[in-house]
Structure 1
């Protein structure tokens, strides 16, 4: 073994510290150093892709991807490089295809029908599908439409038909909508036609898509984010939106209040995740679980039993942060070395199991 790990980052973005890199990357390096391994941060850009590839392949046993694809002008070259590294023996944490499978918004739709996702969830990949099907969704009530890219609530819209009682069978393109964006909870009014045309921007380019979900009123009680280290829940963040009439965003920027809990304070939710993991892996491509990932949940009420249930709203697997619990770098380093040790002795043509 070379006993070296490369941590990929992208320049820019709101997740960086004073010197341009993520504040929670250096603790990973320090924790690896304590275990006799070296590590470094490499900033990816397309212009130096070949040089970065050769450096990583020659020097590293593994990479850890901490790049938000939204911070890259074009993510295609980055994912191509990661696939080449994995194909040539560098361990991918996570594998680039796992990053796409878990991190894309359509991962929620692919899990519908499980204990975490209701059937009333749809993904649109082109304008014709959006125009045909989204008005039908609006007949059922208030919806949330999420773009595949972006962060901190950008391009996540709560969509409510004004005077909805007037429309029984169809919602015309001239119907007025009240729109609230999760980025800052600001509201706008557009006709359905205007909003559909506005959403074309979210369907363009590589991996363009929109996720259509029912709006859950109990978001007012808070969104629950579970931070996972592969198959272990290690932290829970309860994010309560600002106490204003239109607020539904759980981002700090929008005024949400955060509370940090231990997983054992949420035993029912952790049990739901653990019980669903095998099915989640199968439905999302049978890849190894990402090294660090999160699952966001909102409380709902089961119409049949009247009991609480947790609904999955989103999975994040690209560049999950843990700045409020930097001690988790110790767990991360242990998991990285355990994984690489297993990879060094097991023939991957006949693996013992998939985690």
Structure 2
């Protein structure tokens, strides 16, 4: 084989070109020389989408990848950043066999958008689990926790409502909905939608509700007043039109619809994710929802999301107001106790996920179930789950690092220091939870990781209190991992 000698300028040019193709992420810590466990953080770059997807930094990695990967490294484990390439599926699966744990950070829909098959990827993850590899979150966890019928499975827990039903066929939906709708206002949720699309808050225009559940069923011609959670727009339809839209979509029998959705919520049946959940409407939803940000079984923060005046949904972008609380906020003491102490220990088993660990990073959204009118004093302190989310939940503190047309070169350097400190804390806590699961020894920490978390807590508190300036915090952050 012959070699061509290059002058220095050409060599530098080739090196720069090569480094650009590597797209090395900034901010990633050096890997440990002798890692206790080997982990892989799996993402996907979508070539057909700007910047590789709406969740990417200029490195081609997710905007919140660095703090999560660094959290694994700070806990004494290695963490390799790997992109799943559908065309190289078999080679990818073979490579994954060399890791102890796989952290899946592919947004829903991205694998299919990149030319792959989500079911093929999921089956590969399940096969790796059978070989003893830990997968966070596993396909079954994402499916069971994310499906709307999860609300039925937790109906008997303190965070559920006993009159919550799931429908998988047109016949049971028509019969069940007519009976529940005749009793009291309802929330009907499709399984496949996102950001509130296909979630309907429904009332009888006549308010002709029966006293006891089952006393009567609605007729086809009764009129429904409806509001969709994705944008708080209102529609009016008959019972028959609503059922037709949910089953067959826009037809001559379903009337005219203003929603951006297409209906057909039961299409494909249960196996394909076709389902509708029927839950009691809680009038205090207009006062807002409460989101608990969770790392394993630890709450890291609480967000109260209040919809704009006249609205019901607090989905981002609808004018809602977000208020942030610490994990021990006294305002939500009863909620925290019901959820963390009473429901979490049996949650995975209730969701048919016995033996699976809680996700590393997930959320639970809660609604005040007190039956009183909004604005009046509560007579009970009960919050019920409206939704779980563990399918690639983002770390909001890292959002300044994602690219768009206005900031095409965004990176971790664009995250404010205080927010990066918070994200680093979350990543390190994820690392500790991951280490504990792999160790099988509860929450035992390594000495170095204990030092790291202690320093982060101190720096976090000082930054929040305004004791440190950005420059001081930045200087200390540089030395954060000098343990």
The residue aligned with 1:4 is 39
Q: Do residues 191 (structure 1) and 238 (structure 2) align?
A: yes
Q: 1:32 aligns with which of 72, 79, 91?
A: 72
The residue aligned with 1:278 is 345
Offset of residue 130 of structure 1: 0.7
Q: Number of aligned residue pairs: give it.
A: 338
1:279-324 deviation per Cα after TM superposition (whole angstroms, max 9, x unaligned):
3232122122222221111112268x92221111111122222222
CA distance in 2 between partners of 1:22 and 1:160 (Å): 41
The residue aligned with 1:255 is 319
TM-score normalised to the size of structure 2?
A: 0.64
Task: For structure 2, list consecutive stretches of 5 or more residues without a partner in the other structure.
Answer: 1-35, 248-263, 373-377, 398-421, 442-483
Task: For structure 1, list consecutive stretches of 5 or more residues without a partner in the other structure.
Answer: 344-355
Question: Secondary structure of the residue that 1:202 maps to in structure 2?
Answer: coil
CA distance in 1 between partners of 2:111 and 2:204 (Å): 35
The verdict on how the C-alpha distance between 1:22 and 1:260 changes in structure 2, with shifts beyond 3 A counting, is: farther
- RMSD, aligned CA: 2.6
The verdict on how the C-alpha distance between 1:306 and 1:2 changes in structure 2, with shifts beyond 3 A counting, is: closer
Greater share of strand residues, 1 or 2?
Answer: 1
Moved more, 177-186 or 7-16: 7-16
CA distance in 2 between partners of 1:146 and 1:49 (Å): 34
Offset of residue 248 of structure 1: 0.8
CA distance in 2 between partners of 1:14 and 1:183 (Å): 22
Offset of residue 7 of structure 1: 2.4
The residue aligned with 2:296 is 230
CA distance in 1 between partners of 2:158 and 2:280 (Å): 16
Partners of 2:102 and 2:135 within 8 A in 1: yes
Offset of residue 67 of structure 1: 3.3
Question: Secondary structure of the residue that 1:219 maps to in structure 2?
Answer: helix
CA distance in 2 between partners of 1:10 and 1:79 (Å): 17
The residue aligned with 2:94 is 54
Bigger-Rg structure (1/2) = 2
Partners of 2:103 and 2:136 within 8 A in 1: yes
The verdict on how the C-alpha distance between 1:89 and 1:10 changes in structure 2, with shifts beyond 3 A counting, is: farther
CA distance in 1 between partners of 2:345 and 2:95 (Å): 36
CA distance in 2 between partners of 1:50 and 1:176 (Å): 54
Partners of 1:70 and 1:150 within 8 A in 2: no
The verdict on how the C-alpha distance between 1:228 and 1:7 changes in structure 2, with shifts beyond 3 A counting, is: same
Partners of 2:145 and 2:389 within 8 A in 1: yes
Question: Secondary structure of the residue that 2:440 maps to in structure 1?
Answer: helix
In the TM superposition, 1:84-103 aligns within 5 A as: 84-103=127-146
Question: Secondary structure of the residue that 1:184 maps to in structure 2?
Answer: coil
CA distance in 1 between partners of 2:136 and 2:227 (Å): 36
The residue aligned with 1:298 is 367
Moved more, 126-135 or 95-104: 95-104
CA distance in 2 between partners of 1:56 and 1:217 (Å): 48
CA distance in 2 between partners of 1:85 and 1:178 (Å): 48
The residue aligned with 1:353 is none
Q: Do residues 342 (structure 1) and 342 (structure 2) align?
A: no
Offset of residue 26 of structure 1: 2.5
Question: Secondary structure of the residue that 1:203 maps to in structure 2?
Answer: coil
Partners of 1:293 and 1:317 within 8 A in 2: yes
